[in-house]
Chain A
């Protein structure tokens, strides 16, 4: 493990100034669940580590029906899983959080960290994409703020639009639409403590007739260099009647959107094969949830981690 200087920030301003003072070889850390592993493996060797975990302003979460969900970047994954408003209004996100690693890691890992690591397989990312998340960040020089749509945030595996020293501060999810259902399904060989071979989150909003798809957003994980939205697939369903055929066509298009690779977790061929299957399953369940309103969280959690059963 490499040696580094450890610094602790208690405000965003302090964090940014620490960055400026020691730039460029500085890394922000929060839960450090990725950092410690990569540091030990020798992949990340910063000279300075700025721990932002103790910045109160980044720890707040709030929900209102008008403004939607606001997640401080330090919101832990366990909080996402347990948060009543997330479970009620953004169920795919709560289910995704529940499928994330194990409880010890969930208690440390933050939603901001999961976004900034920009892993194609990050478990919260397909759901955040499906809920149209916006990322608020603050630049290192004048503290300038900007907001970026999550689907424009990732530029490659482990890469984002953030400038050096820029700090992700908050994630905003638009207010929930009525008649909406959403679900995340993760395929992995193990039922927990595993990284997704493929992860799919779908959110479906039905029109007042409960048959027409008013809106649909599909987030795909681990099938492209970054988590992606399946826009073409969404286009097939949006504005059209929900039928087994239209759902299947949508899922098939999602499959075509995927451009996975071979790695230790699965082959490209296999990933491509099941992304359609998982998309169809999330859509079917999301439609059910949009119609019936609820699905027990325990059921969602089980669906999320044990895709098949």
Chain B
């Protein structure tokens, strides 16, 4: 496949590599404008309280302070990041978690702004607090938002603190459980984690001479920021321009409006540009992380290891606001398996802590740990090899997926085979060493996508899309354009974009850029190519079909010397009947294209201390076609590293009484280092998708969600203990080795069922 291509499928260096390694790339924090002010944010020290009074007068008198804003300075409006409009951009009369913004200051410098914050006087009256989601979901629990039923967008849920309820059903689950030879029930729990992006949030805002608001944002979704900002400021969307700056990692945390509204309102008040740069502590306390999830699974199995039914009840802590929709992971309770009968429920639950955000396959990652651990656990209990048990049940082409759609051709079995061979499975390791596997599914991301391509008079190609580069997606898009137009990668210029210049596109998230945005780029490039060919056909007096566009020229297939370069054609186009060469494309959604992966971890467990070390990690993923194999491998490795960190050491410790984040720093929130990483071996499997550009599938999400289950399963293989809670920390492993019951969490499934039927 790749041999037919010139640019596609080659591990070319990123188009932005030089700018990034030389420090020339411009991030939001690098925006400097004349007379710029710095903004700092005051946050609530209370878990849940009424704001009795606020006095900003002392802060306003500090020399160098130019403006102080509170929630009362914003229009009286709610907005939402998930389904429900449950949130104010800044607290007005009530705070719902420790860390909720209550005021912001713009001053000549950050130190002055910080000093002024300390002079803002807020009187609070404490209200009842609920922090534990498993308690919060119980009937009669303290309510976080008593007025939830009135929130715009609130729909089907149980009420109380339950703000969202997603479900999926098929067949007769109860009968299937009765018919099964064995039924297994387990509860798993995954911890709260931070996205761990390198670049703390930053944004700047300025009111232009024409009255329009310009925002420089560190964002994955400039159009989402524009829309939400317009909403919270109650100004027309068209009066805002969002510049999407270089992004130093997002992983879902930067999909939506963050704090852009604070410098924006302060800029409107002062008439001066205002910039806000988060500290690392604020990255942990101001910005929505992934919160904890508890999942109860029940599975019926026949005597020969066929799964007949699954029931799943998952409780997703959403914190004070539904900042994202984590319980969308509900359908993934089936895993990559064909299960005829199921009843799946997932509950989003309000609590008094920082609101939930998105993080690389939110919800799905939690579900994956539960499902793939559960599969392993069942296999051992029924005496089957874990791989064999999975192979008996994996979903195949033509099976119906959770929503009933037919599963198209895919490379799941190839990924399993590849890992099996590389790891020489099945094999028994010596005591204290073990191997575990996990497999999973993701759907190539869809959503509105646009692209515009113009061919310049010198034969270069300008590519304009509204999507922000993450993980090298600009390079992949440029490769798609270059391949389609038959030019080299360095002939493609990728424009830096803002919301005025580029057409609307969905955010860079959910593994959608290469699959969907890439498709739009391919279509736009084909459009431009057709125009080039059409123009050449006119000049040569031959039909378009007789021409090819390759190597920077359009030539007659039967007589290649008869040709025009792209430069000549672009120059000629300026005076041609059809005008300059421009290609455009837009689409709103893409067909279902699953992405399957298999991962295997090899571990050593120190039985005296409980410490686990991953010594080898192998992963295979069906990427369809790798547009840039080096970029794909980078994505796979990055995902594995994040997943290994989530498995072993990362945990946002949240105070059970107050909801306060206890470890808001990189010295206490332990992301892994290079020294902690095993060699990571990547295998790219390629079963082309039917509709992706050149057959590509998505890449980003799956590598991140597999490691916790693979490592937990490896620990079981090594020392015979099943840890059902993340992280798989040394103290937890040691306690289990000493025979302590690890079941730390319990969902009252019967009560949930009763609430549904009653």
Please give, as numbers and ranges, the residues of chain B lying within 8 Å of A277 by CB-CB distance: 608-609
User: Number of B residues whose C-beta is below 8 Å from A?
Assistant: 26
Q: Which of B606, B649, B662, B730 has the most CB of A within 10 A?
A: B730
Q: Which residue of A lies closest to B653 (CB)?
A: A264
**At the interface, yes or no: B611 with Cβ under 8 Å from chain A?**
yes
Q: Contact: B730 with A190, CB < 8 Å?
A: no
Chain A interface mostly helix, strand, loop or mixed?
loop
Docked CA distance A279–B613 (Å): 21
CB interface residues, B 629-686, toward A, < 8 Å: 648-649, 653, 662-663, 667-668, 670, 672-673, 675-676
Q: Which chain A residues lie closer than 8 Å to B649 at the CB level?
A: 189-190
Scan A244-275; emit 1 where CB is below 8 A from any B CB, else 0: 00000000000000000000111101100110
Is there a chain B Cβ closer than 8 Å to A57's Cβ? no
Q: Is A308 on the interface with B (CB-CB < 8 A)?
A: yes
Give the segment of A124-132, A191-199, A211-219 that binds chain B.
A191-199
Residues of the A chain whose Cβ atoms lie less than 8 Å from the Cβ of B608:
274, 277, 308
| A191 in contact with B606 (CB, 8 Å) | no
A270–B613 touching, CB < 8 Å: no
Q: Which residues of A contact B670 (CB under 8 A)?
A: 189-190, 194
Does B114 count as interface, using CB distance less than 8 angstroms? yes
- Give Cα distance in the complex from A245 to B111, angstroms: 60
For the residues of B in contact with A, the DSSP-based class is loop
- A307 interface contact, C-beta 8 A: yes
Contacting residues, chain A, for B662 (C-beta < 8 A): 264
**Cα(A193)–Cα(B675), bound, Å:** 10
Q: Is B231 on the interface with A (CB-CB < 8 A)? A: no
A195 and B667: CB pair below 8 A?
A: yes
Q: Separation in Å of the B744 CB from the closest CB of chain A? A: 13
| A266 contact set on B, CB distance < 8 A | 731
Q: Which residues of B contact A267 (CB under 8 A)?
A: 731
- Chain B residue with minimal CB distance to A270? B731
Q: How far is the CA of A99 from the CA of B66 in the complex (A)?
A: 47
Is the CB–CB distance between A309 and B676 below 8 Å?
Answer: no
Contact with B along A200-219 (1 / 0, CB 8 A): 00000000000000000000
Q: A306 — which chain B residues lie within 8 A by C-beta?
A: 613, 675
Indicate if B729 sits at the interface (CB-CB under 8 A): yes
CB distance from B306 to the nearest CB of A (A): 40
B residues less than 8 Å from A1 (CB atoms): 111, 114
Q: What residue in chain A is nearest B608 (Cβ atoms)?
A: A277
A191 CB contacts on chain B under 8 angstroms:
673, 675-676
Name the residue among A195, A266, A273 with the largest chain B CB count within 10 angstroms: A273
Cβ contacts under 8 Å, B653 to chain A? 264
Nearest neighbor of B607 in chain A, beta-carbon distance: A308
Could you say which residues of chain B place their CB within 8 Å of the CB of A308? 604, 606, 608-609, 611, 613
CB distance from A259 to the nearest CB of B (A): 18
Please tell me if the beta carbons of A264 and B731 are within 8 angstroms of each other in the complex: no
Is B463 among interface residues, defined by CB-CB distance under 8 A? no
The reply to whether A187 and B609 form a contact with Cβ atoms under 8 Å apart is yes
Instruction: Let me know if B114 and A193 touch, CB within 8 A.
Output: no
Whether A274 contacts B668 by the Cβ 8 Å rule is no
Chain B residues with CB under 8 Å of chain A are 111, 114, 604, 606, 608-611, 613, 648-649, 653, 662-663, 667-668, 670, 672-673, 675-676, 729-731, 734-735
Considering the complex of A and B, which 5 residue pairs feature the smallest CB-CB distances, nearest first? A308-B606, A191-B675, A270-B731, A308-B611, A189-B649
Interface residues of A (CB under 8 A from B): 1, 3, 187, 189-195, 264-267, 269-270, 273-274, 277-278, 305-309
Sample (12) of A-B pairs whose CB atoms are under 8 Å apart: A1-B114, A187-B730, A189-B649, A191-B673, A192-B673, A192-B675, A194-B667, A264-B668, A269-B731, A270-B730, A274-B609, A308-B606
